[in-house]
Amino acid sequence: MMSAIRACGRGVAKVWAWVDALRRGLFNLLMLGLILVLIVALVRSGPEPLADKTALVLNLQGALVEQASGSLRSQALAQARGESPQAQTRLRDVLAALDAAARDPQISHVLLQLDQFGGAGMAGLHEVAAAIERFKKDSGGKKVLAYGDEFNQRAYFLAARADEVYLHPMGGVLIDGFGRYRNYYKDALDRVGIDANVIRVGKFKNFGEPFFANAPSPATLESESYLYGDLWTRYTASVEAARKLEKGAIARAIDELPQRMQAVKGDTAQLALKEKLVDALKTRDEMRALLIERGAKDEKSKSFRQIDLLAYLAHVKPKWDDKAAAIGVVVAEGEIVDGQAGPGKVGGDSTAQLIRQAREDDKIKALVLRVNSPGGSAFASEIVRRELEITRAAGKPVVVSMGDVAASGGYWISMAADQVLADPSTITGSIGVFGMLPTADKLMGKLSVHTGGYTTTWLTGGFDPRRPLDERLRSTVQSAVQFIYDDFTGRAAKARKKTVEQIDEVAQGRVWTGSQALDRGLVDKLGSLGDALQAAATLAKIEGEPRIAYVEREPGKLDRLLKSMDAVLAPTLVEWVRAAMPLQLPAAVQQAQHELASLTELSAGRKPYAALVHCLCTAP
C-alpha cells in the first residue's frame, strides 16, 4: 500500500516538474519576444519615408469616437496584434490625417474603404465629410475615391463626398432612413412579478417608459417624429447635393423600391448605378488595377502603393510650436457616472480633475469641452459643471462643442460655458429627471419566498427590492426628482438668459436636433469642433494659430512605452496577424440585455436623492 502511494507521489512530482519546466520555458519565450520587439523599436526610430504617388487608404474600423475607450495599454497591444478589439476610430485622427495628406506631396489621392466602418452619429459624419471637402479644396486637385463591397447609410454619407464612387458588382447601397423600435417590458415584468416604479418629471422624459408601458406614448411619438424628420431631411438633402441628384430623389427611390428592383431584375448593384448613387461597378481586381493606374504599383505587394490610416498617423507631425499658447480640449464621451471613470465614460471626479488640470496649466488660455454623452448621474453632472464654472471665474474662456449626443446630463455639463456650439444634427436637450426603484416582491411570492424582520423606522427597509414600494418613499423620491428638475431648469434659465417658464416650455425631457435647439435658444451657434476651437481662441484673444492640447489621463510607464511603439509596430505586425471576427448576438438581443441590465443596476445602492438625468437616445 505504502509503495503504491510513494509511486503515485513520484508520478505527481514528475508531472509537476514537467508543468513547471513548461511554464518557465513559455515565460522565457515571452521575455525573448518582448526583448526582440524592444530591439526593433530602438533600431527603427520612426516610420519609413513615403514614396511618391502613395494612396492614403481611409479604412475606418468600427465606430467613430471622440475618445477611444480602454487603457492605452490594451489599445497598444491590440494594435501590435493587428486587432481592433473595441472596433473604434478616433475622429481627431481621421481629421488630422486628411488635413496632413492635403499638404503631403507623397500622397497623390485618398481612397475611402468603408466596409468595416461601424458608423457614427450625424455630427461625427459631418466632421469627416467637411474634412474630405477641405482635402479636395486644399490639396490642389487631388482626388478622393470610394470603393465598397456595399455601402450602408452611414458609410454612404461619406462615400457620397468622393469624386468617384465604385461598388462591387454583387454589392448594393442601403439607405433606409432614421428611426427605431424599442422593446417594451411591462407585460413581461408583470408576468415575472417585477415593478419598475419609474418616477419622473417631464412628460417627454421617456428613459423608463419601456419598463412601465407596452407601447410608446403619444408624447414619445410626437418628439421622435419631429427629431427624426429633421435628421432625415438634412441627410437626404446633403447626399443629393453631393451626388448632384434631384431634390427628393432618395425618398422617391425608397417609395418605389419594389418596382425599381423589379426593373433591374433584383440586381442591387445595377440599381445603385441606375439611381446614380455610384459611378461604376468594379470587382476588387479591377479596382486594384485602376488604383495602380492612378498611382503607382508596389512591387512588394503587387498592388497599388498605399498606406492606411493607422500607419499614416506616424507620419503626421504636430503643426504647432510647443511653446505656443494652447487651447485645452477635454473630451466628455459616454455615460456620466459618479467618481472615477476611464476613457469611454464621463466620471464626475475624473473629468473634473482634467478640467482643473487645464485651468491650472498656464500655457492653456481657453478650454473646449467636447461633449458626446446621453447623460447619467445628476450629481456627477453637477460636479463637472461646477468645475467649468470655476474655470470661467478664473478668467479662462470655456466653449462647449456638442458632438453626436449632448442630452440630459450631457446638456447639464454644457451649461457653464461662454458659448455652446452644436452640429445641426446633434441630439440635445432632454432637460428632464427621473428615478427608478424596481421591486420584486411579487416575484418572491411566485417563488414562495417570504421576507420579514424588524426595523426601527419605515425607511430602514425602504430600498429593499424584495418588498413593495412604500408610498411614503415614492413621495419622498418624487420630491427629490422634482427638486433636481427645478434645479436643472433654473440653471438652464440662468445660463441661457431666459425665464424658468421659457426653459420649462422646451424642457420636459424633450430631445431636439442642434438646429431645433438653436431656434429655441438652447445653444448659441451651429458649428463644428474646429469652429468651437476658433471661438475659444477669439475669446482668449490668442494671436496666431493656437496649439491644440487634449487634456487626458496621464498614461503609466508601460502605457507610454507601448504607445511609443505604434509607429514601429503598426506597419509590421499589423500585416502579420488579423483577428478573427467574434461571434455576436443579434442587435435586438443585445439591446434587451443592455436595457434590462440598466433596470438591475438602478436597483443597487438606491437613495432618495439619487436622481438621473439620462436620455434613452443614441446617435441615429
Catalytic positions, please? 205, 408
For residue 612, give the C-alpha cell: 438621473
Across the strands, what pairs with 119?
Answer: 63
CA distances from 492 to 233, 409, 481, 523 (A): 29, 12, 16, 11
Rounded CA separation 129/125 (Å):
6
Rounded CA separation 60/164 (Å):
18
Q: b/e map of 369-402 (b: 16 or more CB within 10 Å)?
A: bbbbbbbbbbbbbbbbbebbbbbeeeebbbbbbb
Rounded CA separation 399/416 (Å):
9
Rounded CA separation 136/66 (Å):
24
Rounded CA separation 550/361 (Å):
12
Q: Is the dihedral of CA 420, 424, 425, 427 positive or negative?
A: positive
* N-terminal to C-terminal alpha carbon distance within the chain: 74
Secondary structure letter of residue 620 according to DSSP: -
The phi-psi region of residue 519 (left if phi > 0; otherwise alpha if psi is between -120 and 50; otherwise beta) is alpha
Across the strands, what pairs with 297?
Answer: 304
Instruction: Assess contact for 603 and 475: CB atoms under 8 A.
Output: no
CA distances from 455 to 44, 449, 607 (A): 70, 20, 17
Q: Which residues contact 536 (CB under 8 A, 6 or more apart)?
A: 327, 366, 367, 368, 397, 398, 399
Residue 142 has, within 13 A of its CA and on its CB side, a CA count of 27
Q: Which of 584, 591, 615, 515 is nearest to 180 (CA)?
A: 591
